[in-house]
Amino acid sequence: RQMQAGGRNAMSFGKSRARLNTDGDNKVTFDNVAGCDEAKEELQEVVEFLKDPQKFQRLGAKIPKGVLLYGPPGTGKTLLAKAVAGEANVPFFSISGSDFVEMFVGVGAARVRDLFEQGKKNAPCIIFMDEIDAVGRQRFAGLGGGHDEREQTLNQLLVEMDGFSATEEVILIAATNRPDVLDPALLRPGRFDRQISVDGPDIKGREEILKVHTKNIVLDKTVDLKVLARRTPGFSGADLANAVNEAALLAARRNKDRVSANDFEDAIDRVMAGPEKKSKAMSEKEKKIVAFHEAGHALMYHFLDELDPLHKVSILPRGAALGYTMHLPTDDKFLNSRKELLGTITALLGGRTAEELAIGEITTGASNDLERSTALAHRIVCEWGMSQRLGPLTFGKNDNAVFLGRDIAQDRGYSEEIAFEIDKEIRRIVDECHARSKNILEEHRDKLDMLAEALLEREVLDKNEVELLFEGKLPPFDDGKTSPTGGNPPKKVIEDEGSEPETGLPGIGSPAPTPA
């Protein structure tokens, strides 16, 4: 009996782990999706086919067998797939790409077969496969040997997608944030006929997303969603949802009956740069170093016309950073000029340069700035062909994550001599930007000292307060009350224990706090 029971359990390995949501469970519609109007329009045809397939079949039209949604994390790919099923009122099977692979050979392929059999029984329906890159990665680059279970699973998926007939009314929707690693056979017409990019929202899209997420939030009259949309460039839909929830939590923690603009301001800072650190105090000497460092960054954004205007500078630590400087674009940006990129490197080096001038020492606080400025200079030379010495050429691939199934088997594409010239050009760009930041700070040394002193006193300054400070019109600070941002009283800053600040190169046009 035990052997028979074990046999029955073994057979269950081949069963699909897809979760079935019927129309009663799925209440998501296109009204719940905002900020991706183009993707919604593309998917509207799928909805119309599922509602009235004869309308298309009478004309001899064939609906796409597969729809691939690709884009950065948090942009609403999964939500869009649920909305299609909700609009069409059809069963919705959802499964992750990693659910196909088990320790036993052949299980993945069996689960693919079972999934599509369930779909055909419940047709018309939608099968949604999240993170399809877990099973759909490009096959074989001459590495290793033996049997690859993932390849067998992918082969079965290709067979099943070819096996659809025009009358089966089963549509596969898949999502991934790594379309570059998918197998070409998976992307050809006849399998994923329609590939839809789901990008981050623009300013109008962010406002629409905020309207959706604040529908059940009690808002104070000081809250302007247009201002919040402008305040959050580079935020995905998931980031905006997180910011709204953080603002509501902050308001509840502060015993308010409404969520105010100050709550949103603090919540956005928390999402961008991490939570405030309140536990440890740092010495006056180190606090002074952080103040001059952030003042150096702030002056770059104040004086360099090619950069986005300064929004806020703070020496209150958030996340792993001891301080941060935020800049705010006037519009959504999709392109950057060479002048703007060099200005960004100059601003990144402003903190370290301020330490050199004011303190006479350089510290480890600039490690993230150096990492980001070097990476940006590398992209200027190797990826965007903006080097005046090397000309309009690209060298090697970009610095995205390497896919071992393909990239490790490829040559970098340039000689040792060119590699030496690339290193020289990167060094020249960084050195020139460093010299430029030094000239600016030496010319405005009085403003550097003035801003650092104000930061030591107030800990947070916004753009208007910085301008009033330079005009000599900033009112005296009432110590012990509320901070300039209207939040909690000023807090002591955390001691640096060797932790690195927030890393990573911000995307083109997306602002990021500049950590100490």
Burial status of residue 340 (CB atoms within 10 A of its CB: 0-12, 13-18, 19 or more) = middle
User: Token pair 């905002």 is at which residue?
Assistant: 34
How many Cβ atoms are within 10 Å of 145's Cβ, its own excluded?
A: 6
**What are the CA-CA distances from residue 164 to residues 94, 189, 229, 259, 501 (Å)?**
18, 13, 43, 51, 51
Beta-bridge partners for 460: 314
Q: Could you give the 3-state DSSP secondary structure of residue 472?
A: coil
State yes or no: is 294 an active-site residue.
yes
End-to-end CA distance of the chain: 67
CB 347 within 8 Å of CB 300: yes
User: Token pair 């480890």 is at which residue?
Assistant: 364
Burial call 373-396: b when 16+ CB within 10 Å, e when fewer = bbbbbbbbbbeeebbeebeeeebe
Say which residues have a Cβ less than 8 Å from residue 502's Cβ, sequence separation at least 6: 273, 274, 319, 320, 321, 368, 512, 513, 515
Give the DSSP letter of residue 478: -
Residue-level length of the chain = 516
The full DSSP string for 190-223 is: TTS-EEEE-PPP-HHHHHHHHHHHTTTS-B-TT-
Say which residues have a Cβ less than 8 Å from residue 288's Cβ, sequence separation at least 6: 359, 452, 456
Give the DSSP letter of residue 246: H
Strands of 19-21's sheet in order across:
19-21, 92-96, 125-130, 170-176, 66-70, 194-197
CB 466 within 8 Å of CB 298: yes
Q: Could you give the 3-state DSSP secondary structure of residue 477?
A: coil
Catalytic residue among 294, 355, 465, 502: 294
How many Cβ atoms are within 10 Å of 133's Cβ, its own excluded?
A: 22
Q: Could you give the 3-state DSSP secondary structure of residue 447?
A: helix
User: Token pair 């028979």 is at which residue?
Assistant: 4
CB 342 within 8 Å of CB 361: no
**What are the CA-CA distances from residue 103 to residues 100, 107, 143, 277, 410 (Å)?**
10, 8, 21, 44, 31
User: Token pair 């959802």 is at which residue?
Assistant: 94
How many Cβ atoms are within 10 Å of 360's Cβ, its own excluded?
A: 7
Q: How far apart are CA 102 and CA 104, in angstroms?
A: 5
Enzyme catalytic residues: 294
